[in-house]
Structure 1
Amino acid sequence: MLDPNELENEIRDLEPWQQVAFCAALTERMFLNFALFARLIDFGDLKKMRTVLDGVWDELALTGSKMNYEVQIDHVEDNIVDLDEYDMFGAIPARDAMLALFATLVCKIEKEPGEAVAVSNLSYETISAYIEFAEANDQMSDEEVVRLINTHDLTQDEDAFQEEVLELIKGAKQSPSTIKALRELGKNQGISNIGISDDD
């Protein structure tokens, strides 16, 4: 697993637009977790949330489109899953995806690096929760669970993904081509950060 302190420093060193782009790429990869949950149990306003994330991308790509982030943040808040209401694992990654989208909007409004760091951590937390849910058992010690998470393929994939996003952003100019490449990277060929796809 990447050194969290080094990763945080790298994120904090980015320019404000780069931090928003970093958030958007990670949120894009997590978004499918929300989309599948929303479709499965008819939750929230999936189309609206997709439009909000697309609006972030469009503005980053300097298309001239503008979005009222203060208004959208309320819509996103309405789509954050209340875990007390849904007793199923899918609610957790769905909630985390919307928390990431919420943080992306706050990062844009307030130019707050801590929000980009929070999105990075959120993605790892979603993965940790999934691994523990899917593969850990009561017989395992805390140390064994931590080792399972840290050495798991999904965690390694997340390391590689976040590094690739940072490499693409660092030193790049804000341009339609940079944002297009980043958006494609975030789509991750239709597979989310916990390895589920639209076919699931």
Structure 2
Amino acid sequence: MLFFDEDRLNEELRDLGHWQRVAFVASCVEVLVPGYARFCEEEGVGDPDLIGNIVNQVWDGLRRPVLEGIEVPSPSSVLDSLPEEEDWNEWFPQAENAVAATSFLVELVRNNDASLAVRAANQCYEAVDELAARGIEGGLLDAEAREVLGELPLVQKELLRQQEAILELRKAVDRGYSTVVRLRDRASSGAISAS
């Protein structure tokens, strides 16, 4: 069984290069975009195009030989897309996670701080954790119930996706088109959605 281990993740992500961290965080945002879109669709608020366009621009930038030149908005303008409390629906937590991870992505593009990649990974973990918790009757209050939650397939699938992404990025010597495409495809297939 896999566990979310922030210290281990921090160590592994610190050992990667800038483009590899950006690719990892882009894969995290890719997982979260459908949950944000679902929230926006149900509430008629938010800006799913902004979040989707940012991750698309980053993926496109990762296919170029130089990471510089990726045009992304400021993290504060991304945070303007956070849902308001009065716009709550069951996808609210995933929408918050998506916006937070996207703000970490645009900040990472600008400054290469490995801790931002860890924070984005945590947003994915929190999103699937909350989504899995919805399916458990009676809620989750104690440590035993939290452990059971971590064993659920949805949570394990996301933790495995993160682990495999790091392993693939560690093996990648340069930004090969195939590496970027595989990461995005895997993230899209693991995306948080209504299913």
Normalising by structure 2, we get a TM-score of 0.87
SS in 2 for 1:85: helix
What's 1:144 paired with? Answer: 144
Deviation digits for residues 93-120 of structure 1, max 9, x if unmatched?
A: 0110111111011111111000000011
- Give, in whole Å, the separation in 1 of the partners of 2:20 and 2:79: 24
Q: Contact (CA 8 Å) 1:12, 1:117: kept in 2 or not?
A: no
Superposition pairs for residues 41-190 of structure 1, below 5 Å? 41-62=43-64, 66-69=69-72, 71-82=73-84, 84-137=85-138, 142-172=142-172, 173-188=174-189
TM-aligned CA deviation for residue 154 of structure 1: 1.2
Counterparts of 1:3 and 1:113, CA distance in 2: 17
Output the CA distance in 1 between the equivalents of 2:148 and 2:38.
26
In structure 2, what is the Cα distance between the partners aligned to 1:185 and 1:11? Answer: 19
Taking a change above 3 Å as real, the CA distance of residues 107 and 136 of structure 1, as seen in their structure-2 partners, is farther
Deviation of the 1:2 alpha carbon: 2.9
Asked whether the equivalents of residues 96 and 122 of structure 1 are also in contact (C-alpha less than 8 Å), the reply is: yes
Assess if the C-alpha contact under 8 Å between 1:62 and 1:175 holds in 2: no
Pair 1:68–1:3, CA change in 2 (3 A): closer
Query: How far 1:17 moved relative to its partner?
Result: 1.0
Which residue identity lines up with residue 179 of structure 1 in the other structure? V
State the alpha-carbon separation in 1 of the partners of residues 118 and 148 from structure 2.
23
Q: Alpha carbons of 1:7 and 1:48: their partners in 2 closer, same or farther (altered >3 Å)?
A: closer
Q: Which ranges in structure 1 are unaligned for 5 or more consecutive residues?
A: none
Query: Are residues 143 and 48 of structure 1, via their aligned partners in 2, closer, same or farther at CA, if it must alter by over 3 Å?
Result: closer
| Residue 165 of structure 1, CA deviation | 0.8
Q: Which residue of 1 aligns with 2:9?
A: 7
**RMSD of aligned C-alpha atoms?**
2.1
Say whether the 8 Å CA contact 1:136–1:145 is kept in structure 2.
no
- Matching residue's letter, 1:77: L
Misfit runs of 4+, over 6 Å: none
Of 97-106 and 174-183, the range deviating more from structure 2: 174-183
How far the C-alpha of 1:8 sits from its partner, in A, is 2.5
Q: Percent identity?
A: 23
C-alpha distance in 2, partners of 1:176/1:48? 24
Return closer, same or farther for 1:133/1:109 CA change in 2, 3 Å cut-off: same
Q: Give aligned pairs, total.
A: 191
Task: Note the C-alpha offset of 1:135.
Answer: 0.9
Question: Per the alignment, in what secondary structure is the counterpart of residue 62 of structure 1?
Answer: coil
Deviations 1:28-65 (A, max 9, x none): 01111011111222222222321111001111110789
Q: Is the 8 A contact 1:52 1:72 kept in 2?
A: no
Deviations 1:45-89 (A, max 9, x none): 2223211110011111107893433x353442221113x223322
